[in-house]
Amino acid sequence: MKYFIFSDIHGNIEALNAVLAEFDRESETGELIPVCLGDIVGYGPNPRECIEVIRHRRIFSLAGNHDYAAIGKMDISFFNPYAKDAVLWTKSVLEDEDVEFLESLPIRKKMNTINLVHATPCNPEQWNYLVTLYDAQHNFECFNTQVTFVGHSHQPIFIVQKQSKDCWVHPHPILCFRNGWRYIINVGSVGQPRDGNPEASFVIYDEESKIVEIKRIPYDIVLTQKKMRDLSLPTYLINRLEMGR
């Protein structure tokens, strides 16, 4: 089985459509399963349109913290002021059917040989960030598949663990799994990348060849920014898109 995995769309329909156009192109060469790791909404100007596309295409999706926040399922007092403003705006535009859909999304999923969560393999409902190798070490103990795919930090990364439990970051965008080694892979963000590259990020994983690759695709950032400006969404959120920060 081959998977096309992406995360953190954040109401950015231009970025989502660019990624799904890439999915359609890649699908021409064989069956590809699309998977979304959550945060369909929050920050961006088109939360309803993004939900509609995911629903219409019947793409499996997990719930992210912003999806929960937008339907009042979690406390947003710890969100930064920009995220909070964007969540409140998102909440104000969602219709009942959107809320019902977001409500139905699971928080973790095992799909054949892969494990999927939005935040961390350990206690995914706490929405912690997996940023250090120390965090990774502990998180490898919370799943029993060879690989877990995560989103949440908006920074694509491959973390590798040897049998000896030593962990490190694989520095290239392509990787072939070794027997006995284990992996935590952050697929980056579709709608608000934060690794210095503003292009939408996604991953393709081939379960048979065990090859995984992080890919980037440009989208119409200027149009997304214009929509955000027209809606008076926070300037900080508008500017960060072009910097990928």
| Cβ at position 164, least distance to Zn ion in Å | 33
Query: Which is nearer to Zn ion, 8 or 195 (by Cβ)?
Result: 8
Residue 165: helix, strand or coil by DSSP?
coil
DSSP secondary structure letter of residue 142 = G
| Cβ at position 43, least distance to Zn ion in Å | 8
d(CA 69, CA 36): 18
| Cβ at position 163, least distance to Zn ion in Å | 33
| Cβ at position 27, least distance to Zn ion in Å | 25
Q: Which single residue brings its beta carbon nearest to Zn ion?
A: 39
| Cβ at position 237, least distance to Zn ion in Å | 12
Beta strands in 46-136 (DSSP E): 60-61, 108-111, 114-117
| Cβ at position 38, least distance to Zn ion in Å | 8
Q: Which amino acid is at 154?
A: H
Query: Which is nearer to Zn ion, 8 or 14 (by Cβ)?
Result: 8
What does the block give as tokens for 97?
């059917």
Q: Which amino acid is at 26?
A: E
Query: Which is nearer to Zn ion, 98 or 207 (by Cβ)?
Result: 98
d(CA 26, CA 33): 11
Q: Could you list the residues that contact Zn ion (CB under 5 A)?
A: 8, 39
**Percent helix, strand and coil across the chain, each to the nearest 5:** 35, 20, 45
| CB of 135 closer than 8 Å to CB of 129 | yes
d(CA 88, CA 94): 10
Query: Which is nearer to Zn ion, 8 or 199 (by Cβ)?
Result: 8
Query: Which is nearer to Zn ion, 10 or 227 (by Cβ)?
Result: 10
Which of 43, 58, 135 has its CA nearest to residue 101? 58
Query: Which is nearer to Zn ion, 90 or 161 (by Cβ)?
Result: 90
